[in-house]
């Protein structure tokens, strides 16, 4: 009950009369307690006029959605310039992440690089090292693909136990966009690859001060890696690498180099900072895995969740969430309301697509009792998302990266939810 | 090479074949102006459905040298400027050398403010030394000495990405010296050590053998594959840990309160305390200077330019409401303020300036911003300086808009 009041309090503050309707709707379905003034009384918006077409040349979300924003966890890093924020996945639906609230990860801040100042160099073991301008890139044949980008550290704070109370913080280092760009293989072929590409690598590097660089095996570079300049139909945002970023489908976000300035064909990996001292996964015995590029199948219930409590009481309830796999397409998601004892197959909103987010729904008739909500993803390789316990058995507690464990939300009778771990 | 690579190799073949088909049709006379090259077939090849596997197999034998003729050859100077990465065997290293003692001085000036004088790390900034033998512990300390596999990575990273806010400003000799000092801090070399291109490959880091290539395909995928349990999967379920008990989540009250707390979101009360504690007394002279600056600052265009110029500074210096110290002190109210007046760990260069009663008036700021190390020899500010006088004026005007 306290949560019902809390959530309606904001509605009351924001919308006045709307709050009254909110409380009425929160009760069991049935007869209205009286005529709804929102219907019986003439409202301003039904009588006066709204904004003209020139009010907002480029629109932002309406003020009522001002809490759907990226958030930072200050204690995680020393400085916001070399840090990460989180996508508000608890408040989104569908699968496409709007650019304006898609998580950011910078190592030296988001730079401003104009298209006219942009240069992309292809060098190393190629016939002719080349320099492309942005305008050059636009003249190559383009492709469109929807892919998720997940930071390898997503859920990384949860290895040792339930820490952050919200899907945004536990799973929000992810976004999913439709990219437009040129396949990297097209640009590599333009520079001329060696006759034998097996065993070769490309080193990709950004133009910002961090000079983030990663080594990618040639097989991947020639497969589906995209040199992208548009996302969700419009130019990339500054914070996502405007004007050009690399898209490395299914692989950890750190490899999706932003402000891409150079691709070097090499006969081995550079073993840069981001592929040795970071983005390597330490196991229980102290040895560490390297080159753990693929993001394994994973899912999370986005609502209800700690930041998206149930506000309507018992009755019809939509449980929804996201599932994805860097090794293929999501084929199935199961949901448990009792902490993993029993499972029900959820409904995929669309057939799963390779290396893209899938949205799932499970509609239930909630009796108002406590739930331990979990989701479990499966992909087309037959892989089943593991529990945290299963992951720990193999990796211990210090892997930091690639935590794709099953998440549990403890939903109380009040509808509020908490991040917990269960036996 | 890992298993996952083999998987990708099979997937790559058809995709590459599509490309080859396209190139076979692509026009090869891109330099000939008349007549206009006919690219319709190339375009058709790209928009057509993928060829059958048989066609693809034939096509891979074809001529893959056809080009679109876009871009231009990269010049040697351009490649030299950008291609500076260093491989584990030292390939790519420039000539040069540096010793531990030179490295110590450079480290103090350029690195210590974040990493500590001995690489012990300040606040949340990375620790660079220590932690030997802790990798299997509950809380491992991962440093250059305890974790990094290759020294080339250290040289490469210091050279390309450090210092923070002044990347690529160190000379090759300076990078050798700093790298030598980091080795010394990790007890891996003696204090008379000099690192050079010649002896670089002789240094092996302790954890070089501590890495294995991704083995999830063998150790994890087989056990987590197959039909999952659907009913009565365990005997009981108990809550073993709660996030609320730990209480480290930024917002306490969840999404409902987010809109109201947005403005103060970035931290729980700390900025207010800091701001209050750092309010400094303003002398009469300062007030006069401020007035003068405010008169200059009335030009909004200059302020806007200054805001852009300030991007070069803001990696280390914060301004505005709730600004806190970062790598450098926050700069609210700096124009006209006494040098070294903020509660910040200043270099000796700045504290001695402060002792002499120096004030950040326009002349002092201009001299400092144009040549930081020339104006205050020994300053930890690694910034190279603003070359244009108009940039100095603009950034001063911008800074003058922020009161203490």
Contact (CB<8Å) A71/B251? yes
Torsion over CA of B106, B110, B114 and B115, rounded to 10 degrees?
A: -20
Q: Hey, is A411 helix, strand or coil?
A: strand
Task: Give the per-residue pLDDT at A378.
Answer: 98
Which of B224, B232, B307, B322 best tests the A interface by mutation, with the highest count of A CBs <10 A?
Answer: B224
Q: Does A267 touch chain B (CB under 8 A)?
A: no
Q: Does A393 touch chain B (CB under 8 A)?
A: no
Enumerate residues 94 to 123 of chain B having a beta carbon within 8 A of any beta carbon in chain A.
Answer: 114, 123
Which of A76, A78, A64, A71 is CA-nearest to residue A102? A71
- The 8-class DSSP code of residue A239 comes to G
Shortest Cα distance from A144 to chain B (angstroms)? 12
**A-B interface: how many C-beta pairs under 8 angstroms?**
326
Kindly give, in sequence order, each residue whose CB lies less than 8 Å from that of residue A84, ignoring residues fewer than 6 positions away. Answer: A72, A76, A77, A103, A104, A105, A151, A153, A173
Looking at the structure, give the CATH architecture of the domain made up of residues A298-420.
Sandwich (2.60)
Verify cis geometry, omega within 30 degrees of 0, for the bond prior to A273: no
Task: Give the per-residue pLDDT at B312.
Answer: 74
Q: Does B271 touch chain A (CB under 8 A)?
A: no
Q: Above pLDDT 90, what percent of chain B?
A: 42
Residue B137's Cβ-side half-sphere holds a number of Cα atoms within 13 Å equal to 11
Residue of A nearest to B143 (CA): A277
Q: CA angle A111-A241-A108, nearest 5°?
A: 40
Nearest to A270 among B85, B142, B221 (CB): B85
- Each residue's pLDDT, cut to its tens digit, for chain A (423 residues) gives 344 434 443 443 343 333 334 444 444 557 888 999 999 999 999 999 999 999 999 999 999 999 999 999 988 888 888 899 999 999 999 999 999 999 999 999 999 999 999 999 999 999 999 999 999 999 999 999 999 999 999 999 999 899 999 999 999 999 999 999 999 999 999 999 999 999 999 999 999 999 889 999 999 999 999 999 999 999 999 999 999 999 999 999 999 999 999 999 999 999 999 999 999 999 999 999 999 999 999 999 999 999 999 999 999 999 999 999 999 999 999 999 999 999 999 999 999 999 999 999 999 999 999 999 999 999 999 999 999 999 999 999 999 999 999 999 999 999 999 999 999
Contact (CB<8Å) A372/B267? no
Tell me the chain A residues in contact with residue B59 when contact means C-beta distances shorter than 8 Å: none
Q: Where are the domains of chain A?
A: 2-59, 99-289, 298-420
Shortest Cα distance from A365 to chain B (angstroms)? 19
Contact (CB<8Å) B74/A131? yes
Nearest to A67 among B88, B213, B258 (CB): B258
Domain A99-289: what homologous superfamily? Answer: Oxidoreductase, molybdopterin-binding domain (3.90.420.10)
Shortest Cα distance from A273 to chain B (angstroms)? 6
Tell me the chain A residues in contact with residue B78 when contact means C-beta distances shorter than 8 Å: 121, 131
Q: Does B52 touch chain A (CB under 8 A)?
A: no
Looking at the structure, give the CATH architecture of the domain made up of residues B284-399.
Orthogonal Bundle (1.10)
Q: Does B87 touch chain A (CB under 8 A)?
A: yes
pTM, full prediction = 0.77
Tell me the chain A residues in contact with residue B167 when contact means C-beta distances shorter than 8 Å: 108, 209-211
Helix (H) or strand (E) holding A187: helix A184-191
Buried b (16+ CB within 10 A) or exposed e, B219-233: ebbeebeeeeeeeee
Q: Does B15 touch chain A (CB under 8 A)?
A: yes
* B40 has a pLDDT exceeding 60: no
- The 8-class DSSP code of residue A415 comes to S
Q: Describe the crossing of helices B100-110 and B172-185 by its angle, rounded to 10 degrees.
A: 100
Task: Give the per-residue pLDDT at B290.
Answer: 39
Nearest to B71 among A131, A268, A420 (CB): A131
Q: Does B277 touch chain A (CB under 8 A)?
A: no
Residue of A nearest to B268 (CA): A74
pLDDT top residue among B211 and B376: B211
Residue of B nearest to A286 (CA): B136
Cα–Cα distance measured from residue B369 to residue B161, given in angstroms and rounded to the nearest whole number: 22
Task: Give the per-residue pLDDT at B231.
Answer: 97
Q: Does B220 touch chain A (CB under 8 A)?
A: yes
Helix (H) or strand (E) holding B24: helix B3-25
Enumerate residues 233 to 252 of chain B having a beta carbon within 8 A of any beta carbon in chain A.
Answer: 233-234, 236-244, 246, 248-251
Task: Give the per-residue pLDDT at B321.
Answer: 86
Task: Give the per-residue pLDDT at A221.
Answer: 98
Shortest Cα distance from A337 to chain B (angstroms)? 11
Which of A404, A406, A407, A339 is CA-nearest to residue A370? A339
Q: Does A411 touch chain B (CB under 8 A)?
A: no
Torsion over CA of A390, A394, A397 and A401, rounded to 10 degrees?
A: -90
Q: Does A342 touch chain B (CB under 8 A)?
A: yes
Instruction: For domain B87-202, give its CATH number from 1.10.10.10, 2.60.120.10, 3.10.580.10, 1.10.760.10.
Output: 1.10.760.10
Contact (CB<8Å) A205/B85? yes
Q: Above pLDDT 70, what percent of chain B?
A: 71
For residue A304, with 0-12 CB atoms within 10 Å meaning exposed, 13-18 middle and 19 or more buried, which class applies? buried
* B16 has a pLDDT exceeding 60: no
Q: What is the average per-residue pLDDT within B238-266?
A: 62
Shortest Cα distance from A290 to chain B (angstroms)? 5
Number of Cβ within a 10 Å radius of residue A310: 26
CA distances (Å), origin B156, targets B142, B232, B253: 18, 54, 45
pLDDT digits (tens, 9 = 90+) for B132-185: 999 999 889 999 999 999 999 999 999 999 999 899 999 999 999 999 999 999
Q: What is the average per-residue pLDDT within B381-403?
A: 84
Task: Give the per-residue pLDDT at B314.
Answer: 78
DSSP string of B7-22, one letter each residue: HHHHHHHHHHHHHHHH
- Considering Cα of B353, then B356, then B362, then B363, what sign does the dihedral take? negative
Buried b (16+ CB within 10 A) or exposed e, B50-86: ebeeeebeebeeeebebbbebbeebeeeebeebbbbb
pLDDT top residue among B43 and B248: B248
pLDDT tier at B12 (50, 70, 90 boundaries)?
A: very low
* B263 has a pLDDT exceeding 90: no
- The 8-class DSSP code of residue A247 comes to E
Residue of B nearest to A188 (CA): B67
For residue A2, with 0-12 CB atoms within 10 Å meaning exposed, 13-18 middle and 19 or more buried, which class applies? exposed
DSSP string of B271-306, one letter each residue: HHHHHHHT-----HHHHHHHHHHHHHHT-HHHHHHH
Contact (CB<8Å) A164/B243? yes
Nearest to A209 among B167, B242, B258 (CB): B167
Which of B147, B143, B150 is CA-nearest to residue B85? B150
A50 is written with which tokens? Answer: 């709204």
Contact (CB<8Å) B124/A384? no
Check if the beta carbon of residue B157 is closer than 8 Å to that of residue A270: no
Contact (CB<8Å) A334/B230? yes
Cα–Cα distance measured from residue B64 to residue B19, given in angstroms and rounded to the nearest whole number: 8
Q: CA angle A293-A297-A300, nearest 5°?
A: 120
For residue B214, with 0-12 CB atoms within 10 Å meaning exposed, 13-18 middle and 19 or more buried, which class applies? buried
Q: What is the average per-residue pLDDT within B290-306?
A: 63
A199 is written with which tokens? Answer: 């065993």
Task: Give the per-residue pLDDT at B403.
Answer: 86
Shortest Cα distance from A86 to chain B (angstroms)? 12
ipTM for the predicted complex comes to: 0.90
Question: Rounded to a whole number, what is the distance in angstroms from the first to the last CA of chain A?
Answer: 29
pLDDT tier at B66 (50, 70, 90 boundaries)?
A: low
Kindly give, in sequence order, each residue whose CB lies less than 8 Å from that of residue A190, ignoring residues fewer than 6 positions away. Answer: A122, A130, A140, B67, B68, B70, B71
Q: Hey, is A316 helix, strand or coil?
A: strand
Shortest Cα distance from B81 to chain A (angstroms)? 11
pLDDT tier at B379 (50, 70, 90 boundaries)?
A: confident
Contact (CB<8Å) B233/A183? no
Check if the beta carbon of residue A226 is closer than 8 Å to that of residue A246: yes
pLDDT tier at B44 (50, 70, 90 boundaries)?
A: low
Check if the beta carbon of residue B335 is closer than 8 Å to that of residue B358: no
| CA B84 remoteness from chain centre | 16
B377 is written with which tokens? Answer: 């020899």
Q: Where are the domains of chain B?
A: 3-60, 87-202, 284-399
B126 is written with which tokens? Answer: 């990375």
Q: What is the average per-residue pLDDT within B339-350?
A: 83
Which of A292, A299, A325, A282 is CA-nearest to residue A159? A282
Helix (H) or strand (E) holding A215: strand A213-217
Task: Give the per-residue pLDDT at B32.
Answer: 45
Q: Does B363 touch chain A (CB under 8 A)?
A: no
Tell me the chain B residues in contact with residue A10 when contact means C-beta distances shorter than 8 Å: 256-257, 259-260
Buried b (16+ CB within 10 A) or exposed e, A49-73: eeeeeeeeeeeeeeeeeebbbbbbb
Cα–Cα distance measured from residue A390 to residue B221, given in angstroms and rounded to the nearest whole number: 12
Q: Which stretches within B83-198 are classed as H helix? A: 100-110, 112-115, 151-161, 172-185
Q: What's the whole-number average pLDDT of chain B?
A: 77
Lowest mean pLDDT among A120-134, B29-43, B187-201, B252-266: B252-266
* B97 has a pLDDT exceeding 90: yes
pLDDT tier at B39 (50, 70, 90 boundaries)?
A: low
Shortest Cα distance from A14 to chain B (angstroms)? 10
pLDDT tier at B23 (50, 70, 90 boundaries)?
A: very low
Task: Give the per-residue pLDDT at B6.
Answer: 42
| CA B359 remoteness from chain centre | 33
Q: Hey, is B253 helix, strand or coil?
A: coil
Check if the beta carbon of residue A389 is closer than 8 Å to that of residue A407: no
Buried b (16+ CB within 10 A) or exposed e, A358-382: bbbebeeebeeeebbbbbbbbbebe
A62 is written with which tokens? Answer: 């309406």
Check if the beta carbon of residue B130 is closer than 8 Å to that of residue B186: yes
Shortest Cα distance from A12 to chain B (angstroms)? 12
């Amino acid at each position: 009950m306290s949560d019902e009041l809390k959530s309606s309090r904001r509605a009351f503050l924001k919308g006045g009369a709307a709050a009254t309707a909110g409380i009425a709707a929160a009760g069991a379905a049935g007869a209205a307690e009286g005529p709804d003034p929102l219907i019986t009384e003439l409202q301003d918006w039904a009588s006066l006029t709204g904004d003209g077409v020139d009010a907002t040349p480029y629109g932002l979300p309406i003020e009522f959605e001002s809490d759907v924003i990226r958030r930072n966890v200050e204690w995680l890093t020393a400085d916001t310039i070399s840090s990460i924020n989180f996508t508000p996945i608890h408040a989104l639906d569908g699968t496409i992440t709007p650019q304006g609230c898609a998580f950011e990860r910078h190592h030296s801040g988001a730079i401003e690089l104009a298209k006219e100042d942009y240069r992309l160099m292809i060098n190393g073991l190629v016939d002719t090292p080349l320099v492309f301008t942005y305008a050059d890139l636009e003249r190559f044949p383009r492709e469109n693909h929807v892919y998720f980008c997940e930071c390898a550290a997503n859920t990384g704070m949860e290895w040792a136990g339930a820490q952050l109370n919200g899907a945004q913080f536990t799973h929000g280092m992810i976004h999913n966009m439709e990219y437009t760009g040129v396949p990297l293989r097209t640009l590599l072929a333009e520079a001329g690859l060696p006759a034998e590409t097996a065993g070769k690598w490309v080193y990709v590097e950004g133009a910002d001060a961090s000079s983030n660089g990663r080594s990618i095996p040639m097989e991947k570079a020639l497969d589906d890696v995209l040199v992208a300049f548009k996302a969700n139909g419009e130019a990339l945002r500054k914070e996502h690498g405007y004007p050009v970023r690399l898209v490395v489908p299914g692989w950890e976000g750190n490899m999706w180099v932003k402000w891409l300035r150079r691709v070097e064909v090499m006969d081995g990996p550079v073993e840069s900072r981001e592929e040795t001292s970071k983005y390597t996964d330490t196991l229980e015995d102290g040895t560490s895995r390297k080159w753990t590029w693929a993001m394994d199948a994973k899912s999370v219930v986005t609502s209800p969740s700690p930041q998206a409590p149930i506000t309507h009481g018992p009755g019809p309830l939509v449980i929804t969430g996201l599932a994805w796999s860097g090794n293929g397409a999501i084929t199935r998601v199961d949901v448990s309301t009792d902490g993993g004892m029993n499972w029900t197959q959820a409904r995929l909103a669309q057939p799963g697509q390779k290396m893209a987010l899938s949205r799932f729904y499970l509609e239930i008739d909630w009796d108002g009792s406590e739930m331990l909500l979990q989701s479990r993803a499966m992909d087309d390789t037959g892989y089943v998302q593991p529990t945290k316990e299963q992951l720990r058995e193999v990796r211990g507690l210090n892997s930091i990266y690639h935590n794709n464990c099953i998440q549990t939300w403890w939903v109380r009778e009040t509808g509020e939810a908490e991040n917990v771990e269960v036996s | 090479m890992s298993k996952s690579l083999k998987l990708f190799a099979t997937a790559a073949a058809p995709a590459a074949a599509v490309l080859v088909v396209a190139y076979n049709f692509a026009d090869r006379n891109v330099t000939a102006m008349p007549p206009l090259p006919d690219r319709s077939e190339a375009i058709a090849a790209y928009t057509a459905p993928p060829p059958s596997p048989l066609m693809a197999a034939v096509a891979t034998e074809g001529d893959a040298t056809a080009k679109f003729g876009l871009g231009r050859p990269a010049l040697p100077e351009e490649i030299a400027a950008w291609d500076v990465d260093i491989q584990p065997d030292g390939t790519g290293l420039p000539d040069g050398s540096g010793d531990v003692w030179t490295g110590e001085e450079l480290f103090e000036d350029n690195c210590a403010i974040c990493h500590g004088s001995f690489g012990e790390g300040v606040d949340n900034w990375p620790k660079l030394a220590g932690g030997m033998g802790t990798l299997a512990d509950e809380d491992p300390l991962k440093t250059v000495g305890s974790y990094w596999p290759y020294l080339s990575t250290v040289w490469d990273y210091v050279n390309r990405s450090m210092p923070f806010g002044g990347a690529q400003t160190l000379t090759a000799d300076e990078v050798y010296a700093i790298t030598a000092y980091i080795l010394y801090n990790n007890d891996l070399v003696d204090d008379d050590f000099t690192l050079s291109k010649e002896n670089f490959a002789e240094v092996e880091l302790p954890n070089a053998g501590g890495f294995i290539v991704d083995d999830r395909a063998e150790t994890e995928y087989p056990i987590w594959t197959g039909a999952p349990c659907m009913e009565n999967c365990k005997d009981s379920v108990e809550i073993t840990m709660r996030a609320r008990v730990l209480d480290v989540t930024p917002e306490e009250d969840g999404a409902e309160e987010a809109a109201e707390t947005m403005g103060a979101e970035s931290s729980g009360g700390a900025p207010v305390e800091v701001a209050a504690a750092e309010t400094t007394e303003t002398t009469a002279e300062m007030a006069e200077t401020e007035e003068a600056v405010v008169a200059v600052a009335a030009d909004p265009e200059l302020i806007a330019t200054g805001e852009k110029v300030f991007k070069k500074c803001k990696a280390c210096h914060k301004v505005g409401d709730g600004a806190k110290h970062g790598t450098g002190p926050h700069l609210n109210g700096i124009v006209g303020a006494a040098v070294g007046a903020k509660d910040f760990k200043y270099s000796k260069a700045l504290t001695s300036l402060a002792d002499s009663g120096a004030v950040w008036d326009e002349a002092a700021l201009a001299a400092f911003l144009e040549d930081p190390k020339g104006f205050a020899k020994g300053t930890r500010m690694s910034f190279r300086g603003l070359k244009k006088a108009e940039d100095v004026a603009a950034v001063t005007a911008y800074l003058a808009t922020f009161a203490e």
